[in-house]
Amino acid sequence: MAEDSKRYNDFGDFLKNIFPYKVQKISVNAGFTCPNRDGTKGRGGCTYCNNQTFSPDYCHTEKGVGEQLDEGVGFFSRKYADMKYLAYFQAYTNTYERFDKLIPKYEEALSYPNVAGLIIGTRPDCMPEDLLCYFAELAKRKFLMIEYGLESTLDRTLELINRGHTHAESEEAIRRTAAKGIYTGAHMILGLPGESREEILHHADVLSALPLTTLKLHQLQLIRHTKMAYDFSKRPGDFHLYEVDEYIDLVIDFIERLNPSIIVERFVSQSPKELLIAPDWGLKNYEFTAKVHKRLAERETWQGRLFTPAST
Ligand code: SF4
Q: Is the pTM of this model over 0.75?
A: yes
Question: Ligand 1 atom 5: the closest Cα is on which residue?
Answer: 45
The C-alpha angle with vertex 20 and arms to 54 and 72, in degrees rounded to 5, equals 30
User: Contact at 8 Å (CB) between 113 and 70?
Assistant: no
- Residue to mutate, 41, 43, 47, 49, ligand 1, most ligand atoms under 8 Å from C-beta: 49
- Cα distance between the two ends of the chain: 23
Which residues sit with their C-beta closer than 6 Å to ligand 1?
34, 36-37, 45-46, 49, 51, 92-93, 123, 149
Residue 301 DSSP label: -
pLDDT in tens, the chain (312 residues): 545 568 999 999 999 999 999 999 999 999 888 999 888 988 889 999 986 655 445 445 678 999 999 999 988 888 888 899 999 999 889 999 999 999 999 999 999 999 999 999 999 999 999 999 999 999 999 999 999 999 999 999 999 999 999 999 999 999 999 999 999 999 999 999 999 999 999 999 999 999 999 999 999 999 999 999 999 999 999 999 999 999 999 999 999 999 999 999 999 998 889 999 999 999 999 999 999 999 999 999 999 999 988 655
- Whose CA is closest to 161, among 210, 248, 223, 94? 223
Name the strand (E) or helix (H) holding 217. Answer: strand 214-219
Query: How, if at all, do strands 214-219 and 143-151 pair?
Result: unpaired
HSE-up of residue 120 (Cα within 13 Å, Cβ side)? 33
Question: Ligand 1 atom 6: the closest Cα is on which residue?
Answer: 49
Question: Ligand 1 atom 7: the closest Cα is on which residue?
Answer: 92
Instruction: Compute, in angstroms, the gap from residue 20 CA to the centroid of ligand 1.
Output: 34
What is the Cα–Cα distance from 259 to 209, expressed in whole angstroms? 8
Instruction: Compute, in angstroms, the gap from residue 304 CA to the centroid of ligand 1.
Output: 30
Instruction: Compute, in angstroms, the gap from residue 45 CA to the centroid of ligand 1.
Output: 6
- CA torsion sign, 123 to 224 to 219 to 263? positive
Residue 242 DSSP label: P
Q: What are phi and psi of 255, to 5 degrees?
A: -75, -20
Whole-Å CA distances, 66 to 6, 20, 98: 37, 25, 20
Instruction: Compute, in angstroms, the gap from residue 191 CA to the centroid of ligand 1.
Output: 18
